[in-house]
Structure 1
Amino acid sequence: MTADNEYPKASNATLIGAAITYVSGLFLLLSFAGPYWIESYPEMFSSFKHMGLWEYCFDRFRFPSYQFDKLFHGCHSVFSQEYYVIREWLLPGWLMVVQTFVTLALILSLSAQVIQACVIVRWPLRPILRYEWICISVTCIMDGLASFFLFLAVAIFGGNCYRRDWLLYPSFNVLSWSYAFAVIACMLFGVAAVLLYLESRKLYELRREAKNLVAQMQHSQPEHALQQLQQQLHQQRAMGGWSS
Protein backbone atom coordinates (compact mmCIF):
# COMPACT_ATOMS: atom_id res chain seq x y z
CA MET A 1 0.00 0.00 0.00
CA THR A 2 1.42 3.36 -1.01
CA ALA A 3 1.62 6.35 1.24
CA ASP A 4 -1.14 8.07 -0.74
CA ASN A 5 -3.63 5.34 0.24
CA GLU A 6 -2.82 5.12 3.95
CA TYR A 7 -5.63 7.47 4.98
CA PRO A 8 -9.29 7.78 3.89
CA LYS A 9 -10.04 10.27 1.17
CA ALA A 10 -12.83 12.83 1.31
CA SER A 11 -16.25 11.37 0.55
CA ASN A 12 -18.20 12.04 -2.63
CA ALA A 13 -20.76 14.05 -0.67
CA THR A 14 -18.00 16.33 0.63
CA LEU A 15 -16.62 16.77 -2.89
CA ILE A 16 -20.05 17.56 -4.32
CA GLY A 17 -20.84 20.00 -1.50
CA ALA A 18 -17.49 21.73 -1.98
CA ALA A 19 -17.99 21.92 -5.76
CA ILE A 20 -21.41 23.54 -5.30
CA THR A 21 -19.88 25.97 -2.80
CA TYR A 22 -17.18 26.95 -5.32
CA VAL A 23 -19.74 27.46 -8.09
CA SER A 24 -21.91 29.48 -5.72
CA GLY A 25 -18.90 31.57 -4.75
CA LEU A 26 -18.20 32.30 -8.42
CA PHE A 27 -21.78 33.50 -8.98
CA LEU A 28 -21.57 35.57 -5.81
CA LEU A 29 -18.26 37.15 -6.83
CA LEU A 30 -19.66 38.12 -10.25
CA SER A 31 -22.73 39.56 -8.59
CA PHE A 32 -20.65 41.41 -6.00
CA ALA A 33 -18.44 43.05 -8.62
CA GLY A 34 -20.91 43.34 -11.50
CA PRO A 35 -22.46 46.76 -12.20
CA TYR A 36 -25.75 45.32 -13.45
CA TRP A 37 -28.05 44.82 -10.48
CA ILE A 38 -30.58 47.06 -12.24
CA GLU A 39 -30.51 48.76 -15.65
CA SER A 40 -32.76 50.87 -17.83
CA TYR A 41 -34.50 49.66 -20.95
CA PRO A 42 -32.36 50.66 -23.95
CA GLU A 43 -35.36 51.89 -25.92
CA MET A 44 -36.24 54.38 -23.17
CA PHE A 45 -33.04 56.43 -23.69
CA SER A 46 -32.90 57.12 -19.96
CA SER A 47 -30.02 59.15 -18.54
CA PHE A 48 -29.58 56.38 -15.99
CA LYS A 49 -27.94 53.34 -17.60
CA HIS A 50 -27.16 50.73 -14.96
CA MET A 51 -25.79 50.26 -11.47
CA GLY A 52 -24.20 47.67 -9.19
CA LEU A 53 -23.49 47.59 -5.50
CA TRP A 54 -20.43 49.78 -5.93
CA GLU A 55 -20.84 51.58 -9.29
CA TYR A 56 -23.32 53.79 -11.13
CA CYS A 57 -23.38 54.60 -14.85
CA PHE A 58 -25.14 57.69 -16.23
CA ASP A 59 -25.46 59.35 -19.60
CA ARG A 60 -25.46 63.12 -19.10
CA PHE A 61 -27.64 62.86 -16.01
CA ARG A 62 -28.80 66.06 -14.29
CA PHE A 63 -29.81 65.68 -10.65
CA PRO A 64 -32.91 67.84 -10.07
CA SER A 65 -32.11 68.83 -6.48
CA TYR A 66 -28.56 69.95 -7.20
CA GLN A 67 -28.49 73.75 -7.49
CA PHE A 68 -25.60 73.89 -9.98
CA ASP A 69 -25.92 72.87 -13.61
CA LYS A 70 -23.76 69.75 -13.54
CA LEU A 71 -24.07 66.67 -15.75
CA PHE A 72 -23.03 63.27 -14.42
CA HIS A 73 -21.65 61.13 -17.22
CA GLY A 74 -19.91 57.77 -17.43
CA CYS A 75 -19.34 54.97 -14.93
CA HIS A 76 -17.85 55.78 -11.56
CA SER A 77 -17.54 54.20 -8.15
CA VAL A 78 -20.22 55.22 -5.72
CA PHE A 79 -17.45 56.45 -3.42
CA SER A 80 -15.67 58.49 -6.11
CA GLN A 81 -15.29 62.25 -6.01
CA GLU A 82 -17.55 62.51 -9.08
CA TYR A 83 -20.59 61.38 -7.08
CA TYR A 84 -19.70 63.15 -3.87
CA VAL A 85 -22.52 65.68 -4.10
CA ILE A 86 -25.22 63.04 -4.75
CA ARG A 87 -23.78 60.14 -2.72
CA GLU A 88 -26.48 60.41 -0.08
CA TRP A 89 -29.09 59.92 -2.81
CA LEU A 90 -27.16 57.08 -4.48
CA LEU A 91 -26.63 55.23 -1.19
CA PRO A 92 -29.88 55.09 0.78
CA GLY A 93 -29.89 53.14 4.02
CA TRP A 94 -31.51 50.03 2.58
CA LEU A 95 -28.85 49.80 -0.15
CA MET A 96 -26.06 49.95 2.43
CA VAL A 97 -27.77 47.08 4.25
CA VAL A 98 -27.76 45.11 0.98
CA GLN A 99 -24.05 45.86 0.53
CA THR A 100 -23.38 44.63 4.07
CA PHE A 101 -25.26 41.36 3.62
CA VAL A 102 -23.61 40.58 0.28
CA THR A 103 -20.16 41.38 1.69
CA LEU A 104 -20.75 39.09 4.69
CA ALA A 105 -21.93 36.33 2.35
CA LEU A 106 -18.77 36.70 0.26
CA ILE A 107 -16.52 36.51 3.33
CA LEU A 108 -18.33 33.39 4.57
CA SER A 109 -18.11 31.83 1.12
CA LEU A 110 -14.36 32.37 0.82
CA SER A 111 -13.77 31.07 4.35
CA ALA A 112 -15.83 27.94 3.67
CA GLN A 113 -13.92 27.31 0.45
CA VAL A 114 -10.59 27.48 2.27
CA ILE A 115 -11.72 24.98 4.92
CA GLN A 116 -13.21 22.66 2.30
CA ALA A 117 -9.98 22.76 0.30
CA CYS A 118 -8.04 21.70 3.40
CA VAL A 119 -10.50 18.85 4.02
CA ILE A 120 -10.24 17.63 0.42
CA VAL A 121 -6.43 17.70 0.21
CA ARG A 122 -6.14 16.41 3.80
CA TRP A 123 -3.87 19.18 5.06
CA PRO A 124 -2.90 19.26 7.86
CA LEU A 125 -3.49 15.50 7.92
CA ARG A 126 -3.88 14.63 11.61
CA PRO A 127 -6.23 17.50 12.60
CA ILE A 128 -8.35 16.99 9.49
CA LEU A 129 -8.77 13.25 10.07
CA ARG A 130 -9.53 13.83 13.74
CA TYR A 131 -11.92 16.76 13.38
CA GLU A 132 -13.28 16.27 9.88
CA TRP A 133 -16.90 16.24 11.01
CA ILE A 134 -16.35 19.54 12.83
CA CYS A 135 -14.80 21.13 9.72
CA ILE A 136 -17.70 19.94 7.59
CA SER A 137 -20.18 21.24 10.18
CA VAL A 138 -18.48 24.65 10.20
CA THR A 139 -18.60 24.91 6.40
CA CYS A 140 -22.26 23.85 6.51
CA ILE A 141 -23.03 26.72 8.89
CA MET A 142 -21.06 29.15 6.73
CA ASP A 143 -22.91 28.12 3.57
CA GLY A 144 -26.23 28.32 5.38
CA LEU A 145 -25.49 31.81 6.68
CA ALA A 146 -24.28 32.92 3.23
CA SER A 147 -27.54 31.69 1.72
CA PHE A 148 -29.55 33.47 4.43
CA PHE A 149 -27.68 36.76 4.01
CA LEU A 150 -28.09 36.63 0.23
CA PHE A 151 -31.79 35.92 0.63
CA LEU A 152 -32.13 39.04 2.78
CA ALA A 153 -30.06 41.06 0.28
CA VAL A 154 -32.05 40.11 -2.82
CA ALA A 155 -35.35 40.48 -0.93
CA ILE A 156 -34.48 43.97 0.33
CA PHE A 157 -33.13 45.10 -3.04
CA GLY A 158 -36.06 43.66 -4.98
CA GLY A 159 -38.53 45.32 -2.63
CA ASN A 160 -36.90 48.77 -2.77
CA CYS A 161 -35.32 49.16 -6.20
CA TYR A 162 -38.51 50.65 -7.71
CA ARG A 163 -38.95 53.31 -5.07
CA ARG A 164 -39.64 56.74 -6.54
CA ASP A 165 -37.39 58.47 -4.01
CA TRP A 166 -34.34 56.63 -5.40
CA LEU A 167 -33.71 56.36 -9.14
CA LEU A 168 -35.81 58.63 -11.33
CA TYR A 169 -38.46 57.02 -13.53
CA PRO A 170 -38.31 53.54 -11.94
CA SER A 171 -40.75 52.15 -14.50
CA PHE A 172 -37.98 52.51 -17.10
CA ASN A 173 -35.73 50.08 -15.21
CA VAL A 174 -35.47 46.29 -14.89
CA LEU A 175 -33.49 43.93 -12.67
CA SER A 176 -30.43 42.61 -14.47
CA TRP A 177 -27.95 39.72 -14.48
CA SER A 178 -25.92 40.68 -11.41
CA TYR A 179 -29.08 40.48 -9.33
CA ALA A 180 -29.96 37.15 -10.98
CA PHE A 181 -26.50 35.78 -10.11
CA ALA A 182 -27.09 36.71 -6.46
CA VAL A 183 -30.38 34.78 -6.51
CA ILE A 184 -28.67 31.74 -8.08
CA ALA A 185 -25.85 31.89 -5.51
CA CYS A 186 -28.42 32.07 -2.71
CA MET A 187 -30.11 28.86 -3.87
CA LEU A 188 -26.84 27.00 -4.51
CA PHE A 189 -25.48 27.87 -1.09
CA GLY A 190 -28.64 26.43 0.43
CA VAL A 191 -28.21 23.17 -1.50
CA ALA A 192 -24.55 22.94 -0.45
CA ALA A 193 -25.49 23.55 3.20
CA VAL A 194 -28.01 20.68 3.14
CA LEU A 195 -25.50 18.26 1.59
CA LEU A 196 -22.77 19.20 4.05
CA TYR A 197 -25.17 18.90 6.97
CA LEU A 198 -26.06 15.33 5.99
CA GLU A 199 -22.38 14.50 5.55
CA SER A 200 -21.43 15.99 8.93
CA ARG A 201 -24.12 13.91 10.64
CA LYS A 202 -22.80 10.80 8.90
CA LEU A 203 -19.20 11.52 9.92
CA TYR A 204 -20.28 12.19 13.51
CA GLU A 205 -22.11 8.86 13.72
CA LEU A 206 -19.12 7.02 12.24
CA ARG A 207 -16.79 8.67 14.74
CA ARG A 208 -19.05 7.77 17.66
CA GLU A 209 -19.31 4.16 16.49
CA ALA A 210 -15.52 3.97 16.15
CA LYS A 211 -15.07 5.29 19.71
CA ASN A 212 -17.52 2.71 21.06
CA LEU A 213 -15.72 -0.06 19.18
CA VAL A 214 -12.33 0.99 20.56
CA ALA A 215 -13.75 1.09 24.10
CA GLN A 216 -15.19 -2.40 23.71
CA MET A 217 -11.90 -3.73 22.39
CA GLN A 218 -9.99 -2.22 25.30
CA HIS A 219 -12.32 -3.79 27.88
CA SER A 220 -12.17 -7.16 26.16
CA GLN A 221 -8.36 -7.40 26.08
CA PRO A 222 -6.81 -9.77 28.67
CA GLU A 223 -4.02 -7.29 29.38
CA HIS A 224 -6.61 -4.93 30.78
CA ALA A 225 -7.95 -7.59 33.14
CA LEU A 226 -4.38 -8.46 34.21
CA GLN A 227 -3.67 -4.84 35.03
CA GLN A 228 -6.78 -4.65 37.19
CA LEU A 229 -5.74 -7.88 39.02
CA GLN A 230 -2.25 -6.48 39.67
CA GLN A 231 -3.71 -3.28 41.06
CA GLN A 232 -5.96 -5.25 43.43
CA LEU A 233 -2.95 -7.33 44.63
CA HIS A 234 -0.96 -4.16 45.31
CA GLN A 235 -3.86 -2.72 47.28
CA GLN A 236 -4.19 -5.93 49.34
CA ARG A 237 -0.46 -5.96 50.11
CA ALA A 238 -0.58 -2.34 51.13
CA MET A 239 -3.51 -3.02 53.46
CA GLY A 240 -1.69 -6.07 54.92
CA GLY A 241 1.38 -3.92 55.59
CA TRP A 242 -0.73 -1.34 57.44
CA SER A 243 -2.48 -4.05 59.52
CA SER A 244 0.82 -5.64 60.57
Structure 2
Amino acid sequence: MKYTILNLCAVVMGLGAVLFHLIGFAAPHWLESFEQAHSRFDRLGLWTACFNNFGYDRDALGKMYDGCHWIYSYEYKPIFAWLVPNWFLAVQVMMTLGLIINGGMALMLLTGQAGFFMDKEDFFAQAFKAGGFWTSFLLTCLSVALFGIKSDIDRQWFPRPDQNYLSWSFAFVVIAGFFEIFAAMCLTFDALRIKDVEARRLKKQDPGYMGYKMGPVVTHPQYD
Protein backbone atom coordinates (compact mmCIF):
# COMPACT_ATOMS: atom_id res chain seq x y z
CA MET A 1 0.00 0.00 0.00
CA LYS A 2 2.86 2.35 0.74
CA TYR A 3 4.02 2.27 -2.87
CA THR A 4 0.77 3.74 -4.22
CA ILE A 5 1.65 7.05 -2.56
CA LEU A 6 4.04 7.74 -5.46
CA ASN A 7 1.29 7.54 -8.06
CA LEU A 8 -1.12 9.47 -5.84
CA CYS A 9 1.50 12.20 -5.42
CA ALA A 10 1.97 12.25 -9.21
CA VAL A 11 -1.80 12.70 -9.68
CA VAL A 12 -1.86 15.70 -7.33
CA MET A 13 1.26 17.23 -8.90
CA GLY A 14 -0.05 16.61 -12.41
CA LEU A 15 -3.38 18.30 -11.72
CA GLY A 16 -1.53 21.22 -10.12
CA ALA A 17 0.66 21.51 -13.22
CA VAL A 18 -2.39 21.67 -15.49
CA LEU A 19 -4.13 24.27 -13.32
CA PHE A 20 -1.19 26.65 -12.98
CA HIS A 21 -0.09 26.16 -16.58
CA LEU A 22 -3.60 26.91 -17.85
CA ILE A 23 -3.96 30.09 -15.77
CA GLY A 24 -0.53 31.36 -16.80
CA PHE A 25 -1.25 30.40 -20.39
CA ALA A 26 -4.53 32.33 -20.58
CA ALA A 27 -4.08 35.34 -18.27
CA PRO A 28 -2.67 38.52 -19.90
CA HIS A 29 -0.19 39.35 -17.15
CA TRP A 30 3.18 38.03 -18.25
CA LEU A 31 4.71 41.49 -18.59
CA GLU A 32 3.41 44.71 -17.04
CA SER A 33 4.49 48.30 -16.80
CA PHE A 34 5.18 49.92 -13.43
CA GLU A 35 2.32 52.23 -12.51
CA GLN A 36 4.77 55.00 -11.61
CA ALA A 37 6.25 54.90 -15.13
CA HIS A 38 3.00 56.15 -16.72
CA SER A 39 3.96 54.15 -19.81
CA ARG A 40 1.78 53.85 -22.88
CA PHE A 41 2.33 50.12 -22.63
CA ASP A 42 0.02 48.53 -20.05
CA ARG A 43 0.41 44.75 -19.98
CA LEU A 44 1.04 41.73 -22.16
CA GLY A 45 0.13 38.04 -22.11
CA LEU A 46 0.73 35.24 -24.54
CA TRP A 47 -2.43 36.14 -26.45
CA THR A 48 -3.44 39.65 -25.37
CA ALA A 49 -1.70 43.03 -25.48
CA CYS A 50 -2.93 46.20 -23.75
CA PHE A 51 -1.86 49.78 -24.52
CA ASN A 52 -2.73 53.33 -23.44
CA ASN A 53 -2.84 55.40 -26.65
CA PHE A 54 0.39 53.80 -27.81
CA GLY A 55 1.91 54.86 -31.11
CA TYR A 56 4.52 52.74 -32.89
CA ASP A 57 7.16 55.00 -34.44
CA ARG A 58 7.64 52.73 -37.46
CA ASP A 59 3.94 52.48 -38.24
CA ALA A 60 3.41 54.38 -41.50
CA LEU A 61 -0.29 54.74 -40.72
CA GLY A 62 0.38 56.60 -37.47
CA LYS A 63 -2.33 54.59 -35.77
CA MET A 64 -2.82 54.87 -32.00
CA TYR A 65 -3.47 51.69 -30.06
CA ASP A 66 -5.64 51.77 -26.99
CA GLY A 67 -7.19 49.07 -24.81
CA CYS A 68 -6.75 45.31 -24.80
CA HIS A 69 -6.99 43.18 -27.93
CA TRP A 70 -6.13 39.68 -29.06
CA ILE A 71 -2.61 39.67 -30.46
CA TYR A 72 -3.76 38.04 -33.70
CA SER A 73 -6.67 40.47 -34.18
CA TYR A 74 -6.97 42.81 -37.14
CA GLU A 75 -6.40 45.73 -34.75
CA TYR A 76 -2.72 44.81 -34.32
CA LYS A 77 -2.07 43.75 -37.91
CA PRO A 78 0.05 46.86 -38.75
CA ILE A 79 2.43 46.17 -35.83
CA PHE A 80 2.18 42.38 -35.72
CA ALA A 81 5.76 41.76 -36.92
CA TRP A 82 7.07 43.95 -34.09
CA LEU A 83 4.60 42.79 -31.45
CA VAL A 84 5.17 39.06 -32.10
CA PRO A 85 8.84 38.46 -32.95
CA ASN A 86 10.04 34.95 -33.75
CA TRP A 87 11.18 34.21 -30.21
CA PHE A 88 7.76 35.21 -28.83
CA LEU A 89 6.08 32.94 -31.37
CA ALA A 90 8.37 30.12 -30.20
CA VAL A 91 7.23 30.72 -26.61
CA GLN A 92 3.58 30.52 -27.70
CA VAL A 93 4.20 27.21 -29.51
CA MET A 94 6.13 25.65 -26.61
CA MET A 95 3.56 26.74 -24.05
CA THR A 96 0.74 25.34 -26.18
CA LEU A 97 2.52 22.00 -26.59
CA GLY A 98 3.28 21.92 -22.87
CA LEU A 99 -0.37 22.50 -21.98
CA ILE A 100 -1.52 19.74 -24.34
CA ILE A 101 1.01 17.30 -22.89
CA ASN A 102 0.12 18.23 -19.30
CA GLY A 103 -3.57 17.76 -19.98
CA GLY A 104 -3.01 14.40 -21.66
CA MET A 105 -0.74 13.11 -18.91
CA ALA A 106 -3.12 14.28 -16.17
CA LEU A 107 -6.00 12.48 -17.88
CA MET A 108 -3.91 9.31 -18.10
CA LEU A 109 -3.05 9.62 -14.41
CA LEU A 110 -6.71 9.85 -13.46
CA THR A 111 -7.75 6.91 -15.65
CA GLY A 112 -4.76 4.91 -14.43
CA GLN A 113 -5.63 5.63 -10.82
CA ALA A 114 -9.16 4.39 -11.51
CA GLY A 115 -7.83 1.33 -13.35
CA PHE A 116 -9.48 2.13 -16.68
CA PHE A 117 -6.52 3.00 -18.91
CA MET A 118 -2.72 3.27 -18.54
CA ASP A 119 -2.76 1.23 -15.33
CA LYS A 120 -0.67 2.63 -12.49
CA GLU A 121 0.92 -0.78 -11.91
CA ASP A 122 2.24 -1.06 -15.47
CA PHE A 123 5.90 -0.12 -15.95
CA PHE A 124 5.57 1.16 -19.50
CA ALA A 125 2.47 3.22 -18.64
CA GLN A 126 4.23 4.93 -15.73
CA ALA A 127 7.40 5.46 -17.77
CA PHE A 128 5.38 7.00 -20.61
CA LYS A 129 3.63 9.41 -18.25
CA ALA A 130 6.95 10.30 -16.62
CA GLY A 131 8.42 11.06 -20.06
CA GLY A 132 5.46 13.30 -20.83
CA PHE A 133 5.95 15.38 -17.71
CA TRP A 134 9.72 15.57 -18.26
CA THR A 135 8.99 16.88 -21.77
CA SER A 136 6.49 19.48 -20.54
CA PHE A 137 8.95 20.56 -17.85
CA LEU A 138 11.63 21.09 -20.50
CA LEU A 139 9.22 23.13 -22.66
CA THR A 140 8.22 25.24 -19.64
CA CYS A 141 11.86 25.89 -18.73
CA LEU A 142 12.70 26.97 -22.27
CA SER A 143 9.62 29.21 -22.45
CA VAL A 144 10.30 30.90 -19.11
CA ALA A 145 14.00 31.39 -19.82
CA LEU A 146 13.46 32.71 -23.35
CA PHE A 147 10.72 35.16 -22.39
CA GLY A 148 12.49 36.32 -19.22
CA ILE A 149 15.75 37.02 -21.03
CA LYS A 150 14.35 38.49 -24.23
CA SER A 151 11.87 40.80 -22.46
CA ASP A 152 14.84 42.31 -20.65
CA ILE A 153 17.50 42.56 -23.38
CA ASP A 154 15.58 42.86 -26.66
CA ARG A 155 15.81 46.59 -27.37
CA GLN A 156 14.02 46.15 -30.70
CA TRP A 157 10.89 45.02 -28.82
CA PHE A 158 9.23 47.12 -26.11
CA PRO A 159 11.28 50.25 -25.36
CA ARG A 160 12.53 50.97 -21.85
CA PRO A 161 12.40 47.40 -20.47
CA ASP A 162 13.51 48.84 -17.12
CA GLN A 163 9.97 50.23 -16.76
CA ASN A 164 8.42 46.75 -17.07
CA TYR A 165 8.36 43.72 -14.79
CA LEU A 166 7.46 40.03 -15.06
CA SER A 167 4.02 39.68 -13.51
CA TRP A 168 1.92 36.99 -11.84
CA SER A 169 0.94 35.04 -14.96
CA PHE A 170 4.62 34.44 -15.60
CA ALA A 171 5.02 33.37 -11.96
CA PHE A 172 2.17 30.87 -12.36
CA VAL A 173 4.00 29.25 -15.28
CA VAL A 174 7.16 28.98 -13.15
CA ILE A 175 5.13 27.28 -10.40
CA ALA A 176 3.65 24.94 -13.02
CA GLY A 177 7.20 23.93 -13.90
CA PHE A 178 7.81 22.82 -10.31
CA PHE A 179 4.62 20.76 -10.34
CA GLU A 180 5.72 19.17 -13.62
CA ILE A 181 9.13 18.12 -12.37
CA PHE A 182 7.72 16.75 -9.11
CA ALA A 183 5.14 14.72 -11.07
CA ALA A 184 7.87 13.46 -13.39
CA MET A 185 10.07 12.42 -10.46
CA CYS A 186 7.23 10.59 -8.69
CA LEU A 187 6.37 8.68 -11.85
CA THR A 188 10.01 7.89 -12.60
CA PHE A 189 10.56 6.44 -9.13
CA ASP A 190 7.27 4.54 -9.37
CA ALA A 191 8.24 3.05 -12.73
CA LEU A 192 11.58 1.92 -11.30
CA ARG A 193 9.77 0.44 -8.30
CA ILE A 194 7.42 -1.54 -10.59
CA LYS A 195 10.36 -2.78 -12.66
CA ASP A 196 12.14 -3.98 -9.53
CA VAL A 197 9.00 -5.76 -8.26
CA GLU A 198 8.52 -7.49 -11.63
CA ALA A 199 12.15 -8.59 -11.70
CA ARG A 200 11.85 -10.11 -8.22
CA ARG A 201 8.65 -11.92 -9.15
CA LEU A 202 10.18 -13.38 -12.29
CA LYS A 203 13.13 -14.69 -10.32
CA LYS A 204 10.82 -16.41 -7.85
CA GLN A 205 8.76 -17.95 -10.65
CA ASP A 206 11.79 -19.27 -12.56
CA PRO A 207 12.03 -23.02 -11.78
CA GLY A 208 15.64 -23.12 -12.87
CA TYR A 209 16.46 -20.36 -10.42
CA MET A 210 14.61 -22.04 -7.54
CA GLY A 211 15.52 -25.67 -8.21
CA TYR A 212 19.11 -25.51 -9.22
CA LYS A 213 21.63 -26.63 -6.64
CA MET A 214 25.30 -27.07 -7.20
CA GLY A 215 26.30 -30.69 -6.66
CA PRO A 216 29.56 -31.86 -5.15
CA VAL A 217 32.60 -31.86 -7.36
CA VAL A 218 33.88 -35.43 -7.86
CA THR A 219 37.48 -35.90 -8.80
CA HIS A 220 38.91 -39.20 -10.05
CA PRO A 221 42.52 -40.04 -9.33
CA GLN A 222 44.76 -40.39 -12.31
CA TYR A 223 47.39 -43.14 -12.52
CA ASP A 224 50.49 -42.95 -14.61
TM-score clears 0.5: yes
* Aligned 8 A contact 1:119 1:132 in 2: no
2:138 maps to 148
* Aligned 8 A contact 1:150 1:186 in 2: yes
1:24 maps to 17
Within 5 Å, which residues of 2 pair with 1:62-81? Answer: 62-81=55-74
- Distance in 2, matches of 1:55 and 1:90, equals 11
Is 1:88 matched with 2:78? Answer: no
1:183 maps to 174
Give the secondary-structure state (helix, strand or coil) at the position aligned to 2:206: helix
1:158 maps to 148
2:51 maps to 58
| Alignment coverage as a number of residue pairs | 210
- The structural deviation recorded for 1:204 is 1.2
> What amino acid does structure 2 have at the position aligned with 1:187?
F
Is 1:208 matched with 2:190? Answer: no
- After superposition, what is the alpha-carbon deviation per residue over 1:136-165, rounded to whole angstroms, capped at 9, x for unaligned? 111111111111111111111111002221
* Aligned 8 A contact 2:113 2:119 in 1: no
- The structural deviation recorded for 1:10 is 8.0
Which has the higher Rg, Structure 1 or Structure 2? 1
Give the secondary-structure state (helix, strand or coil) at the position aligned to 1:61: strand
> Which of 109, 114, 117 lines up with 2:107 in the alignment?
114
- Distance in 2, matches of 1:183 and 1:115, equals 23
2:219 maps to none
- After superposition, what is the alpha-carbon deviation per residue over 1:24-47, rounded to whole angstroms, capped at 9, x for unaligned? 111111111111110000121111
- Distance in 1, matches of 2:26 and 2:205, equals 52
Q: Which has the higher helix share?
A: 1
Give the secondary-structure state (helix, strand or coil) at the position aligned to 1:128: coil
- The structural deviation recorded for 1:9 is 11
> What amino acid does structure 2 have at the position aligned with 1:106?
L
2:163 maps to 172
- The structural deviation recorded for 1:79 is 0.5
* Aligned 8 A contact 1:10 1:119 in 2: no
2:221 maps to none
- Distance in 1, matches of 2:15 and 2:57, equals 44
* Aligned 8 A contact 2:95 2:139 in 1: yes
TM-score normalized by the length of structure 1: 0.80
Q: Which runs of 5+ in 2 are unaligned?
A: 212-224
> What amino acid does structure 2 have at the position aligned with 1:133?
F
- Distance in 2, matches of 1:177 and 1:191, equals 21
- Distance in 2, matches of 1:216 and 1:59, equals 79
- Distance in 2, matches of 1:115 and 1:166, equals 40
- The structural deviation recorded for 1:170 is 1.5
Alpha-carbon distance change, 145 to 183 in structure 1, aligned in 2, over 3 angstroms? same
Alpha-carbon distance change, 48 to 173 in structure 1, aligned in 2, over 3 angstroms? same
Is 1:138 matched with 2:135? Answer: no
* Aligned 8 A contact 1:147 1:189 in 2: yes
- Distance in 2, matches of 1:136 and 1:9, equals 17
- Distance in 1, matches of 2:207 and 2:148, equals 58
> What amino acid does structure 1 have at the position aligned with 2:99?
L
Q: Which runs of 5+ in 1 are unaligned?
A: 1-7, 221-244
- The structural deviation recorded for 1:194 is 1.1
- Distance in 1, matches of 2:129 and 2:200, equals 23
Is 1:42 matched with 2:35? Answer: yes
- The structural deviation recorded for 1:133 is 1.6
